[in-house]
Structure 1
Amino acid sequence: MTGPLPPEVSLSALGPRTRIGAGGQGTVYALTEDPRWVYKEYATRFVDDVDVTTLHRFVRLAADAGPDADALLGLAAWPTAIVRKEGVVRGFLMPRVPDRFRVRIQLPRGADTVLAQVQYLLNSDDYLRDRGLHIDNRMRLELLRDTGEALTLLHRLGVCVGDLSPNNLLFSLDARPRCYFIDCDAMRLDGDSVLAQAETPEWHVPDADAEELATPATDAFKFGLLAVRLFAGDQQTRDPDGARRRLDRQLLTLAGRSLDPDPQRRPAPEQWLPTLDRSIHRTPPTPVEPVAPPTEQEPPHRNAARPDPVRRIIPKPRVVSPQPAGRGWGLLVGAMVAIAVLAGLISANSDSSGTTSRTTLPTGFRWTAPPPSYPGLPMRNPDPLLPAGSSAGVPRYPGLPLPTRFDLEKLLPLTRACILSDVTVGPGLNRSSARTKAAVVTVGSFLCGLNIDAPRLVDRSKTQIARAGTLTGKGPFRVATIIGIRTAASGNPQVNVVFAPSGAGSSAGCWRSRLSLVKDGDGYDVGSLSAPVRASCP
């Protein structure tokens, strides 16, 4: 295939292709008929987990970025077209990595041309010399500066890298910009991911259980970690002092602040740029020295091959007091049955009289009644199931008058908020699968809770309560549309939902959030949710 790419193509239209690489999520193929593009095909076990709606948004970003579109495609192998096979999304097309981000390197098995992954640079001077790589401080500063500028552009477009590591970042020895991102479908766009977020070992944030992954703050942390390890020549250090002999004081200060456990105190990569520019201006290039032949074996822990990826980290929800497995719908039906039973009792006990005192129940119902008395049952009751004085089938306790009226209007707002709301399933999802059906039930329960200002969450942390409160304040919601479902590393579903408000009291526009479900008996509860963001209504 040649010419401009449509947003979607059929796998059969790609023509002949050659396998050029593989990783934990899938395989990459070169296209024989159009060398501009390569095709990433997801492994079979990930196909059902791909958030197709989010992948579509990745593709549209490359087309709709305006003046930033060329810059985006110049610094990243960004998804540019979705590939389907028999209607099922199997992968996507992306630009082929430019040749300047490949490097000729001396390996123990001999010289080879490989992707110029930054992991090669996070080693000692002796290692670099033995591999035939000439990298001086000026080049390190330029690489760090260009990476900071690329992150600034991505953040402006709503993209967070998330798994920012030396495996996903390439360098150029020949020209600037010196950085190039790969595995871009692992990034996060406006809070949504194509597949579950993951972190490369030794490149994790300080507390992954407490800190949300793939945010500007996590990118800032890993950018500081990159600076320290690049100038320390060490793949594992987290101590800024290790880079002291190469980094000036101001950059060391920025690195230390970037590694702060408090996400709010980390400087954005953009804040590094003026200091990096000044340091580059003061640092002259170093002349190239003759390269000696290799004299030692490559350290085992610094294998040039990309590790099969990653340690998946799922925040641990904090479990609160046990709740029944029945969802919000079950509670609602039970409440309505109780109302009907109570109404029957009311009609059977409509003869109350006498001097009374007014009483207000916690439910909001009011009646006039004397202090109740509960007489014991008679010794000889013809029917052991009925108190004395009862007509068949209707129990009556003398001296216990019940209200003759009952204000159903006080319950109607709660009833209407749940019964008149709906959960729909977006296109491209399998409506008949057990996973989708379970998601519909759980989202319906959560939607009912939102509409009556009582959302059910397993994680009751301040952050989660605040997010639920924010979403509640945008309602009430007429419909919740499930636009994507994927399976987290824990095995539980994560559901992307768009909430459409209704009524004069609702806020304008739709809102999107990702609900992380946790197992509860035979079904699921909502464990946590991502920060709500504005979204296009389905």
Structure 2
Amino acid sequence: MNAPRTPAVAHDRLVLGAQLGQGGQGTVHEVTNRRINETAGHGWDVVYKEYSPAVLPSLQADALTARADLVGELNAADAEWLCERTAWPAAVVQRQGQACGFLMRAVPDRFRFAFQTLNGTAGTRRLATMEYLLNDDAYVAGIGLTISSRDRLALLGDLAQTLSRLHRLGITVGDLSPKNLLFSTAPQPECFLIDADAMRLRGTTVLPQAETPDWQIPDGEERATGASDVYKLALLAIRLVARDQTATDPAVLAAVSPALEDLARCSLDPDRKRRPTPALWAENLAAAVATASTAPASAPAGPGTRTVTGPGRRTRRTPGNRATGVPGPGGRPPKARNGAAIAAGVVVALVAVIGLAAGHSGHSGSGPAAVEAPAFPTATETVSDDPSYTDPAADDTDPGDPGTTETGPADDPDSPDDPADDPADDTDTPSDSPTPDDIAAAEIGSCFYDNGTGGHVDLVATDCTDGAFEVVDIRTGTTDLDSCDHVTDNDESVSSARNNLVLCLSYQSPGGTAFHAQQGDCVYGAPSGGTWDKTGCRTGNFKVLAAYRGTGDHGKCSSWPHYNEWKTFTVAADSGLDVLLCLSMNYPDDIGYATQRECLLKTGSETQPTFTNTGSCDSSNVVVTGRTSRYHASSFCGNDGWATWQPGDYPSLAYTVCWRPK
């Protein structure tokens, strides 16, 4: 049974009050003789948007009516939610039988604030548009808003959840910008979307899609799609954190969460098919909110001028914080290794016989690497990252001078004799630790085992074999572990203070070269086991949607579009090096992932057709009528056309898709 259509309202039956606003499409007025949703206490105030005569020729009246009818078609929970989070059209208004505008609920009062001028003078209540938050904290506090860093992230998280639910209802926002987005922080951070008539519903629009300047998607891309909403969500995240109206560099998010920086980069990918979902944004933002500051922004001490800041300084990430693709929230902390994060002026004790600032960082989730002093009762030397630092406890002797005696606990004259302290005994005692010459002599292609535990590196030279670390680069003249950050396939960084260099090491996984696959690479391996390797992209292998480090939780893959397989690589000695790949089968063409009612362009011959998703039904010639995971299930499609395919090693990923001409 179809839901009843919402009756149109005659314009002459409305009693209009004050004009509330005016824009390019028309004007908004109070309505004094109508209320909607009377079941909610006394109901909601109503406003009327009247389209200007200039846009009426382009108005799609049927599309506007479909929006007014939508609330009655939805289940009660979705209908209530839609009306609570958007100014959704409630009824079409007509003049002489022709649509001229529509009624909608008035903006709830919690999405307004008492604006004050920067000299402290109280002003009127204004709509709390997100534009106000794209400025520095002093300005935001100066106009009367109380906003913390946690509030900013929570608002983004609420918007991401809102977009995710709108998309499930077949609604895309399109012109997502701070002008159309209101916010409130009490009783909890939440958003409210206005200009809902401009949203796209099930592929239809009321008026031609427009975009706000500085909030445009890439040239040539279809407007008002789920992918375009994610693109603009990323822009908003960057600008909200940067306190800037036009910032576009995702690096500003690294100080909040490296995961969010990577997520923003993927969301701004020119290839819309590679952008993540709003649900993945919501998941990562929820994790960032948990640790964000709750301190509200403070106003300047006295009257001042407005300043608008650009993106903040980027913080460097150790490899332990990196994730290829988009990492999930939280994750495992990196293994703590000496020297992994040494601030200038901090003194770190090093094992003199090895001469290593034993820095180690694995690709294992987010969070700074901890610094711990070695627990060895051996002679030590003092090292500082600050060249101007002088150790007040050090004397003028050179600990490397053969004529110098180094003292340590074993040299205490009151200590009992220990045979291990006899140099003669050391000559025949094998050592698992490399000598300084081993590090100095290392070349690209050399290999080591790392037998270290906890925060300590213990490298042992070995042949290059499974489980070893291969030197893929050597950074000389530095002990900065971050210098390996952008080295291809780098998994671990080890610095040597004595040799003033950093070894960039790559783990040699017995599971195959896919261990180092990045987002966008293609990989393949049999489901029964064996190795998985990187390979050229072709029909029947898998594309990497995301590569997570330091986890094997394949639940992280569920939000990725077209996800249908996962692969994990575990490292028994260091779970921080574990890898999870979220994968998508490379089907012969776009019909492989087509869903019911999706439009496609069919080309080629009848016996060997090709189906392409053009992103628009206007440029397509067939529509999908059904889908099953059974291979060659022609009977499932009845009299409709059908296409079928099955990968040899993965029969569960087969499909039969039904279609008919538009």
Give TM-score scaled by structure 2 length.
Answer: 0.45
- What is the 5 A alignment of 1:136-285? 136-207=148-219, 209=220, 211-245=221-255, 247-285=256-294
Cα separation, 2, equivalents of 1:73 and 1:181: 10
Cα separation, 1, equivalents of 2:225 and 2:140: 33
1:112 positional shift: 2.6
Q: Residues 91, 467 of structure 1: CA spacing in aligned structure 2 closer, same or farther, 3 A cutoff?
A: closer
The amino acid that maps onto 2:228 is: T
Q: Residues 235, 452 of structure 1: CA spacing in aligned structure 2 closer, same or farther, 3 A cutoff?
A: closer
Cα separation, 1, equivalents of 2:229 and 2:267: 9
- Whether the 8 Å CA contact 1:7–1:80 is kept in 2: the answer is no
Residue number among 32, 47, 53 corresponding to 1:38 in the alignment: 47
Cα separation, 2, equivalents of 1:165 and 1:154: 16
Q: Residues 240, 297 of structure 1: CA spacing in aligned structure 2 closer, same or farther, 3 A cutoff?
A: closer
Cα separation, 1, equivalents of 2:15 and 2:617: 47
Q: Residues 469, 160 of structure 1: CA spacing in aligned structure 2 closer, same or farther, 3 A cutoff?
A: closer
Cα separation, 2, equivalents of 1:279 and 1:197: 33
* Residue 15 (structure 2) aligns with: 15
The amino acid that maps onto 1:260 is: D
Cα separation, 1, equivalents of 2:210 and 2:617: 23
> Higher helix share goes to which structure?
1
Q: Residues 56, 42 of structure 1: CA spacing in aligned structure 2 closer, same or farther, 3 A cutoff?
A: same
Cα separation, 2, equivalents of 1:143 and 1:217: 20
* Residue 26 (structure 2) aligns with: 26
1:289 positional shift: 4.5
The amino acid that maps onto 1:28 is: V
Cα separation, 2, equivalents of 1:291 and 1:238: 27
SS of the residue 2:33 aligns to:
coil
Q: Residues 285, 298 of structure 1: CA spacing in aligned structure 2 closer, same or farther, 3 A cutoff?
A: closer
Cα separation, 2, equivalents of 1:6 and 1:91: 14
Is 2:480 the counterpart of 1:471? Answer: no
Cα separation, 2, equivalents of 1:156 and 1:465: 18
Structure 1 residue runs of 5 or longer lacking an equivalent are 300-449, 455-460, 476-503, 509-532
Cα separation, 2, equivalents of 1:465 and 1:212: 7
- What is the 5 A alignment of 1:78-117? 78-107=88-117, 110=121, 111-117=123-129
- Whether the 8 Å CA contact 1:117–1:171 is kept in 2: the answer is yes
SS of the residue 2:178 aligns to:
coil
Cα separation, 1, equivalents of 2:124 and 2:302: 14
Q: Residues 185, 465 of structure 1: CA spacing in aligned structure 2 closer, same or farther, 3 A cutoff?
A: closer
- Whether the 8 Å CA contact 2:137–2:297 is kept in 1: the answer is no
- Whether the 8 Å CA contact 2:174–2:199 is kept in 1: the answer is yes
1:201 positional shift: 0.4
* Residue 388 (structure 2) aligns with: none
The amino acid that maps onto 1:82 is: V
The amino acid that maps onto 2:19 is: R
SS of the residue 2:49 aligns to:
strand
Cα separation, 1, equivalents of 2:296 and 2:132: 20
The amino acid that maps onto 2:111 is: F
Q: Residues 241, 215 of structure 1: CA spacing in aligned structure 2 closer, same or farther, 3 A cutoff?
A: same
Cα separation, 2, equivalents of 1:244 and 1:189: 35
- Whether the 8 Å CA contact 1:130–1:293 is kept in 2: the answer is no
Cα separation, 1, equivalents of 2:144 and 2:290: 26
Deviations 1:386-426 (A, max 9, x none): xxxxxxxxxxxxxxxxxxxxxxxxxxxxxxxxxxxxxxxxx
- Whether the 8 Å CA contact 2:149–2:292 is kept in 1: the answer is yes
The amino acid that maps onto 1:123 is: N
- Whether the 8 Å CA contact 2:183–2:191 is kept in 1: the answer is yes
The amino acid that maps onto 1:203 is: W
Residue number among 144, 147, 151 corresponding to 1:135 in the alignment: 147
Cα separation, 1, equivalents of 2:134 and 2:619: 44
Q: Residues 286, 474 of structure 1: CA spacing in aligned structure 2 closer, same or farther, 3 A cutoff?
A: closer
1:256 positional shift: 1.5
Q: Residues 506, 143 of structure 1: CA spacing in aligned structure 2 closer, same or farther, 3 A cutoff?
A: same
The amino acid that maps onto 1:102 is: R
SS of the residue 1:33 aligns to:
strand
Q: Residues 73, 282 of structure 1: CA spacing in aligned structure 2 closer, same or farther, 3 A cutoff?
A: same
Q: Residues 462, 294 of structure 1: CA spacing in aligned structure 2 closer, same or farther, 3 A cutoff?
A: farther
* Residue 57 (structure 2) aligns with: 48
1:132 positional shift: 2.5
* Residue 348 (structure 1) aligns with: none
The amino acid that maps onto 2:27 is: T
> More displaced, 15-24 or 211-220?
15-24
Cα separation, 1, equivalents of 2:113 and 2:616: 49
- Whether the 8 Å CA contact 2:142–2:299 is kept in 1: the answer is no
Q: Residues 49, 281 of structure 1: CA spacing in aligned structure 2 closer, same or farther, 3 A cutoff?
A: same
Q: Residues 78, 467 of structure 1: CA spacing in aligned structure 2 closer, same or farther, 3 A cutoff?
A: closer
Cα separation, 2, equivalents of 1:82 and 1:466: 27
1:290 positional shift: 6.2
CA RMSD, 1 decimal = 3.5
The amino acid that maps onto 1:238 is: T
Cα separation, 2, equivalents of 1:121 and 1:11: 38
1:82 positional shift: 0.3
- Whether the 8 Å CA contact 2:253–2:260 is kept in 1: the answer is no
1:222 positional shift: 0.5
Q: Residues 466, 195 of structure 1: CA spacing in aligned structure 2 closer, same or farther, 3 A cutoff?
A: closer
- Whether the 8 Å CA contact 1:130–1:295 is kept in 2: the answer is no
Cα separation, 2, equivalents of 1:81 and 1:101: 23
1:265 positional shift: 1.2
Deviations 1:60-112 (A, max 9, x none): 11221212011000100000100001111110000100000001122369523
Cα separation, 1, equivalents of 2:106 and 2:232: 26
Deviations 1:21-44 (A, max 9, x none): 111100001111236110000001
Q: Residues 452, 13 of structure 1: CA spacing in aligned structure 2 closer, same or farther, 3 A cutoff?
A: same
Cα separation, 2, equivalents of 1:451 and 1:290: 60
> More displaced, 147-156 or 173-182?
173-182
1:244 positional shift: 3.2
SS of the residue 1:31 aligns to:
strand
- Whether the 8 Å CA contact 1:9–1:84 is kept in 2: the answer is yes
* Residue 138 (structure 2) aligns with: 126
The amino acid that maps onto 1:10 is: A
Q: Residues 18, 137 of structure 1: CA spacing in aligned structure 2 closer, same or farther, 3 A cutoff?
A: same
1:141 positional shift: 1.2
Q: Residues 248, 467 of structure 1: CA spacing in aligned structure 2 closer, same or farther, 3 A cutoff?
A: same
Cα separation, 2, equivalents of 1:239 and 1:507: 47
1:451 positional shift: 13
SS of the residue 2:58 aligns to:
coil
Cα separation, 2, equivalents of 1:112 and 1:468: 47
- Whether the 8 Å CA contact 1:129–1:292 is kept in 2: the answer is no
Q: Residues 467, 105 of structure 1: CA spacing in aligned structure 2 closer, same or farther, 3 A cutoff?
A: closer
